[in-house]
Amino acid sequence: MTESEAIEELKYDCNELGKAIPCDTSWAFSFENAYGMAMKALEKQIPKKPISIDYEKYIDIIDNAKFLRGTFWCPNCKRVVHSGSFCKDCGQKLDWENT
């Protein structure tokens, strides 16, 4: 099962179980939180391509903007990433192929 398939299964389960659980109970709130957290964690395991930073846009705004040359934004949290399989800040899995 892929991460995408697992997310779809969780969405289906959450919807079906949500119909059977009274919405105003603390258990229902915990249930929704747990499923939401699981789906977010799985979504971060699906590799996304880092976004190339066009450092020239920042030359008039940031002193020494040239340090951004050859760097990328995390596609999830928009923090600067240089390398690695995952973003250090949010945990998003990164796909560096053809970047």
3-32: per-residue pLDDT in tens?
999 989 888 887 877 766 666 677 777 878
Look-up of token digits 């964690």: 41
14 is written with which tokens? Answer: 């959450």
25-57: per-residue pLDDT in tens?
777 778 788 889 999 999 999 999 999 987 667
23 is written with which tokens? Answer: 């919405």
pLDDT of the residue at 86: 98
Hey, is 80 helix, strand or coil? strand
Q: Give the whole-angstrom CA distance, residue 8 versus residue 2.
A: 10
